Amino acid sequence: MARTETLTALLPFVHRLPTLYGRPVRAWSLYVATGGTTYVGHDGYEDVVATHYAYDSSVPNHTQVNEGDLLILRDGHGSLGVARAETLKSRAGTKRRRRCPTCGTSQVELRKSLAPQYRCTNGHTFENPVAANEPTTLYRLEYGRSFRPFDRLTATQMERLCVAAAKQNAIRELNVDRTLASLRAHGMEAVPE
């Protein structure tokens, strides 16, 4: 779809974020791993950028996102799309985690050319992480009906919209006013409904 057609398709959507069920709608940045990564603390998530986002109860802000909230999907380069949270489902489940045998953190990375081949964020190096299936709550946030591709915000521009400086978090709250202004300044006349 050409840029003009995409922008024209967005015009029917509302311009301001309303309240929903008596609470203000919030805005969130959701990180999607789209390329190779050295992180091996778990096997990742079953995200599909245009339809749904998966996460679990170990992710900071996992209880904060609600139906109706504004979402900007991002990768390490910038925005991928904009949507509204349509449905949020949760269930009990397990997640395979790999942990440092010394300190227990799951913040483990694979080293490509050094030995031992694993290193945790606390500086411990080791040959094999300790792997286990751990109980967790699994979440699936669906937004496919409202999703619109939008790749016009760089990672630096996205960072300026964040409320907190916690770059490592996959789910980050965005300042609603700055986010709406930035979306409009980059060609999105209205946010998805």
DSSP class of residue 164? S
Could you list the residue range(s) of the whole structural domain that residue 23 is in? 3-38+46-94+141-185
Residue 178 belongs to a domain:
yes
69 found inside a domain: yes
Looking at residue 165, its pLDDT comes to 87
* 37, pLDDT greater than 60: no
Give the per-residue pLDDT at 14. 35
In a domain, 150, yes or no: yes
Higher pLDDT residue, 45 or 41? 45
Tell me whether residue 78 is in a domain: yes
Residue 8 has pLDDT above 90, yes or no: no
Predicted pLDDT of residue 3? 40
Least confident of 42-51, 73-82, 90-99, 115-124: 42-51
Q: What pLDDT does residue 44 have?
A: 52
pLDDT score, position 6: 40
In a domain, 116, yes or no: no
Distances (CA, A) of 145 to 7, 78, 87, 111, 167: 16, 22, 11, 40, 29
pLDDT of residue 87: 96
pLDDT 10s digits, 56-82: 999 999 999 999 999 999 998 999 999
- Is the per-residue pLDDT at 149 higher than 50? yes
Q: Would you state the structure tokens that stand for residue 69, as one six-digit string? A: 């909230």
Within 10 A of 96 (CB to CB), how many other CB atoms are there?
Answer: 11
Lowest mean pLDDT among 24-28, 92-96, 133-137: 24-28
d(CA 164, CA 179) in angstroms, rounded, equals 14
> Does a structural domain hold residue 190?
no
pTM for the complete prediction? 0.80
Total domain count, the chain: 1
The CA–CA distances, whole Å, from 98 to 33, 79, 119, 150, 165 equal 18, 29, 12, 34, 26
Q: Please report whether residue 104 resides in a domain.
A: no
In a domain, 117, yes or no: no
**Mean pLDDT of the region 163-183:** 91
